[in-house]
């Protein structure tokens, strides 16, 4: 979902085609559409886009262990969720020992989860959610109809902000 929301899919498809050698056969057909430096840049971008999608997964789930679990399951490392206790027992780095690229991605997710940038995103997201709850035509507590701009419910009198 992070890839879709970040509009990665077109370039992802191109990078996958290059990685699978489609570009080479296309150049044999006289369709050398993408130069070598562009191919290398695209492959580098492809790698970085995985880190962006992992960050999106953290923002959506709010829990770095959920992202680690997703990567472990998609990578075929584990079919059980990774929790804080898994991490304490085995060490998260040991879980991903056999998959250095996934290990690097998981480490990046945990670093990002402790960053000021992530805290700021969570604060903004919570604020936006609070505003969207407040600016609806229905009271978020009793469900009574209310004016969109009304801060207090006319029925139960609770503050909507
Ligand atoms: Zn109400």
Domains: count for the chain: 2
Q: Which of 120, 115, 145, 150 is nearest to 134 (CA)?
A: 150
Could you tell me if 90 and 129 lie in one domain? no
Q: From ligand 1's centre to the CA of 63, what distance in Å?
A: 32
Could you tell me if 44 and 85 lie in one domain? yes
Domain membership of residue 10 as a residue range:
2-114
Could you tell me if 93 and 139 lie in one domain? no
115/101 Cα distance (integer angstroms): 21
Would the CA dihedral through 46, 52, 58, 59 be positive or negative? Answer: negative
Could you tell me if 143 and 74 lie in one domain? no
83/29 Cα distance (integer angstroms): 51
Could you tell me if 86 and 129 lie in one domain? no
Element (H, E) at 92: helix 92-95
Q: Which pTM does this prediction carry?
A: 0.71
Yes or no: say if 86 and 36 are a contact pair by the CB < 8 Å rule: no
Mean pLDDT split into 10-residue runs, the chain, 161 residues: 84 77 55 72 87 95 94 89 79 86 94 97 91 84 91 91 74
- CB-proximal residues (5 Å) to ion ligand 1: 139, 141-142, 144, 153, 155-156
Q: From ligand 1's centre to the CA of 45, what distance in Å?
A: 49
Q: From ligand 1's centre to the CA of 126, what distance in Å?
A: 21
């Amino acid at each position: 979902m992070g890839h879709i929301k970040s509009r990665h899919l077109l370039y992802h498809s191109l990078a996958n085609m290059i990685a699978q050698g489609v570009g080479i056969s296309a150049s044999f057909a006289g369709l050398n559409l993408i130069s070598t430096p562009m191919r290398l840049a695209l492959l580098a971008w492809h790698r970085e886009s995985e880190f962006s999608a992992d960050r999106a997964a953290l923002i959506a789930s709010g829990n770095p262990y959920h992202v680690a679990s997703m990567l472990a399951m998609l990578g075929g490392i584990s079919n059980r969720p990774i929790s804080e206790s898994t991490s304490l027992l085995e060490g998260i780095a040991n879980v991903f020992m056999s998959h250095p690229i996934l290990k690097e991605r998981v480490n990046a997710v945990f670093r990002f989860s402790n960053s000021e940038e992530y805290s700021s995103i969570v604060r903004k997201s919570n604020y936006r959610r609070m505003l969207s709850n407040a600016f609806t035509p229905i009271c978020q507590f009793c469900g009574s109809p209310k004016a969109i701009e009304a801060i207090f419910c006319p029925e139960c009198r609770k503050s909507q902000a």
